[in-house]
């Protein structure tokens, strides 16, 4: 099946890209930091698997990523901006509570959990991939790592633990000034609020992925693993298969 690309206007006028594939109940897919809908969901066949299973894969490019705008105005990055963008997407699609499923990888998982814990979104089912408890509850530590990747971009060497993130950022052509602003727009989330999420939730994480702490400790969720570490788990067919199986259950 072919993938279509369009744009819509978010709450503050920012133009965001939307990729769609398939037909059926919508599955909103949110990608990871410095990535895109194409890199996380389309390239490795996950959106095609969803389409083949009778879903519509609806894939957002977050602001600063993919085909979406990357504004340099600090006012475009209020706290919780990505949650507000996803809420704007749901409104743009005209979807009501329970009429869609929500799936996120890494930053996308964090955004999805924030939106559901805060009662802003109420999907039918929720899947959080590549996200552990400390990546949610102690975001400032993780954000400091990525800010260093941006701030020291030209001096990070191959023996530096930040080198892989630096190379990934470079390969995706992300606007570093805009990305630095975006990193300041997130806050920590109390794990107690996650425990109050009432929709069926699956945490799907690479069996060697410890980048965001223990995914097994996220309260109230079913926990499953797929092969790989943080970056390469997104490339495995088992990730898409796990998402489809949970959404079809």
Segment 130-175, tens digit of pLDDT: 998 888 888 888 889 999 999 999 999 999 999 999 999 999 999 9
Q: Residue 239 phi/psi, 5° resolution?
A: -65, -55
Query: CB-based burial of residue 199 (10 Å sphere; 0-12 exposed, 13-18 middle, 19+ buried)?
Result: middle
User: How would you list the strands of the sheet with 222-226, edge to edge?
Assistant: 4-9, 15-22, 55-60, 25-30, 101-105, 126-129, 201-206, 222-226
Which pLDDT tens digit goes with each residue over 64-101? Answer: 999 999 999 999 999 999 999 999 999 999 999 999 99
- The pLDDT, as a whole number, for residue 140 is 82
- The pLDDT, as a whole number, for residue 1 is 67
Mean pLDDT across the chain, nearest whole number? 94
- For the cut 80, the answer to whether the pLDDT of residue 194 exceeds it is yes
The H or E element containing residue 222 is strand 222-226
- Contact present, 149 and 170 (Cβ < 8 Å): no
| Domains of the chain, earliest start first | 4-248 (3.40.50.1820)
Distance CA 177, CA 193 (A): 32
Distance CA 10, CA 71 (A): 13
- The pLDDT, as a whole number, for residue 141 is 83
Does the model's pTM come out above 0.75?
Answer: yes
């Amino acid at each position: 099946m072919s993938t279509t690309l369009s744009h819509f206007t978010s709450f503050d006028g920012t133009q965001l890209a939307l990729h769609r594939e398939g037909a059926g109940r919508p599955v909103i897919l949110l990608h990871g930091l410095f990535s895109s809908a194409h890199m996380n969901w389309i390239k490795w066949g996950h959106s095609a698997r969803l389409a083949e299973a009778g879903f519509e894969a609806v894939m957002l490019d977050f602001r600063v990523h993919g085909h979406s705008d990357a504004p340099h105005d600090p006012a475009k990055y209020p706290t919780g901006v990505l949650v507000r963008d996803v809420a704007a997407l749901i409104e743009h699609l005209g979807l009501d509570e329970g009429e869609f499923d929500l799936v996120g990888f890494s930053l996308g998982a964090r955004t999805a959990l924030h939106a559901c814990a805060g009662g802003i979104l109420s999907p039918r089912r929720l899947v959080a991939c590549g996200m552990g408890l400390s990546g949610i509850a102690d975001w400032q530590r993780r954000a400091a790592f990525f800010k260093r990747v941006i701030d020291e971009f030209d001096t990070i060497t191959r023996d530096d633990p930040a080198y892989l993130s630096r190379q990934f950022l470079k390969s995706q052509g992300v606007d570093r000034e805009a990305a630095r602003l975006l990193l300041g727009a997130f806050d920590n989330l109390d794990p107690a609020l996650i425990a109050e999420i009432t929709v069926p939730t699956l945490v799907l994480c690479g069996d060697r992925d410890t980048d965001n702490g223990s995914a097994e400790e996220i309260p109230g969720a079913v926990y499953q693993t797929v092969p790989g570490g943080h970056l390469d788990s997104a490339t495995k067919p088992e990730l898409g298969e796990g998402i489809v199986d949970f959404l079809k259950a």
